[in-house]
Structure 1
Amino acid sequence: MSRKSAKSHHPLEQDSLEHTPEDSSSPAQAADESTARKASDKTRDDKTRDKEGEDENNDAPGDVSSHDAHADLIEKLVAAHNQINELKEDYIRAKAEMENIRRRSQNEIISARKYAIEGFAQELLSVVDSLDQATRVEMDQPNAEAAINMKQNMKQNMKQGLALTLKQFDQVMEKFGVIAVAAETGVKFNPEVHQAISVIASDAVAPEHIVNVIQKGFSLKDRLLRPAMVVIAKSPEK
């Protein structure tokens, strides 16, 4: 009885009874588990690095392609910029040329208006010369006898000279399209080219026909410059 009580209360014997064989091997197992975990972690790290390397390798072609696209875009932008500059230069040159054409056209129009009758005036000079010569012949008489002889023939000579001058003047006018309106005795009155200043009864001329021409009318090509001033006939009163 006393031995059993002593055995049960001995601390060392109690500790040795409480420890099983499995408890004695736990440090070794913990070491193995730690080693296994490290190996697993290492393997996982290696796989992660391999995957990252693969991702980097996979990303490399994309980076090259992006660089090429960027370089191509820059090249296109430079080409577009050069083309814009060329178009600007062409526009400036075209604008300057149009301005020069406009100025030349304006100068030509001004000159044409200013010297439109230059040819007409040159042709009229011959008429002026004829009139001037006629004036000189009348004024430059050497003596009284010559003046008397000139006076006797003055009417006839003057009429002939004026007729020749008028004919010359008409030729110049016709050359530039200035034509006398048809207005003679017996011509039917035309309100488009004739202007009646008087109406008289006449047996010799039909009603609404021209009896007499007071002033000639003229037209420039197809445009009326002035109407002919005429006297027209009407039926005589009975």
Structure 2
Amino acid sequence: MSASNESLDPKQNLSADTSEQLEVNEGQAEAPGTEAQAQEDWATLLSEAQEQVAQYHDELLRAKAEVENIRRRAADDVAKARKFGTESFAESLIPVRDSLEAALAQPDQSAEAWKDGVEVTLRQLNVAFERNLLKELAPGEGEAFDPHKHQAISTVPSTLPEGTVAQLLQKGYTIADRVLRPALVMVSSGPSAQND
């Protein structure tokens, strides 16, 4: 019971509390110099952090401006490529037009002269195509049908294997390995369909 009386005695509790408070107050009494030092340290850290944030913000703005400049330059390059992308091809076609106009300007030509002129003009056109990576797609009979390069108009019974080109109706063209116009073909349905 004495233990419970001790805890109920207010005088004893006050003395314990004051001694604890004295210890806490003594610790704080030693801290004024260190507290000022801690505040200076925090102020230094804060100013360094603010300088670093300002530096990062400046770098961010510069990077953002650089990205915007790159985007604008790329848009300009794309616009120029669209505008002048056909320049090389057009330069290649000018001699072809000149030849055609020269042929029409000649009165009283023989059929043989016209034929020779058309052949020369066709050679000029072929050179222009080659120079600009324009190639023809002309699959031969029996060649495998390729849906990426050929367009089937119909299937026909044939002695050729099924799924091969039976007849070329119109040449196709590629430009730099991209299909510009697929070749129009008739596809073989195979020999079994011919016997039916």
TM-score bracket for the superposition, by shorter chain length: 0.5 to 0.7
Q: Secondary structure at the match of 1:188?
A: coil
Q: Is the aligned partner of 1:63 residue 2:17?
A: no
1:162 is aligned to: 118
Query: Percent of pairs identical after alignment?
Result: 29
Q: Secondary structure at the match of 2:44?
A: helix
Contact kept in structure 2, 1:189 and 1:232, CA below 8 Å: no
Deviations 1:156-189 (A, max 9, x none): 11111111101110121122221122256xx326
Amino acid in the other structure paired with 1:159: K
Q: Is the aligned partner of 1:72 residue 2:41?
A: yes
Deviations 1:184-204 (A, max 9, x none): 6xx326543264579699xxx
Amino acid in the other structure paired with 1:132: E
Equivalent of residue 81 in structure 2, options 94, 108, 112 = 112
Deviations 1:40-98 (A, max 9, x none): xxxxxxxxxxxxxxx99x93x53222211111211111111111111111111111111
Contact kept in structure 1, 2:136 and 2:173, CA below 8 Å: yes
Cα distance in 2 for partners of 1:87, 1:232 equals 66
What's the TM-score once normalised by structure 2's chain length?
A: 0.66
What 5-or-longer segments of structure 2 have no aligned partner? 1-24
After superposing on structure 2, the runs of 4+ consecutive aligned residues of structure 1 that deviate more than 6 Å are: 197-201, 231-237
Cα distance in 1 for partners of 2:157, 2:37 equals 105
1:224 is aligned to: 179
Amino acid in the other structure paired with 1:117: T
Contact kept in structure 2, 1:178 and 1:221, CA below 8 Å: yes
Cα distance in 1 for partners of 2:132, 2:142 equals 27
2:101 is aligned to: 132
Higher relative contact order (CA 8 A, sep 6+): 2
Deviation at 1:232, TM superposition (A): 8.2
Contact kept in structure 1, 2:92 and 2:128, CA below 8 Å: yes
What's the TM-score once normalised by structure 1's chain length?
A: 0.55
Cα distance in 1 for partners of 2:42, 2:185 equals 88
Contact kept in structure 1, 2:166 and 2:185, CA below 8 Å: no
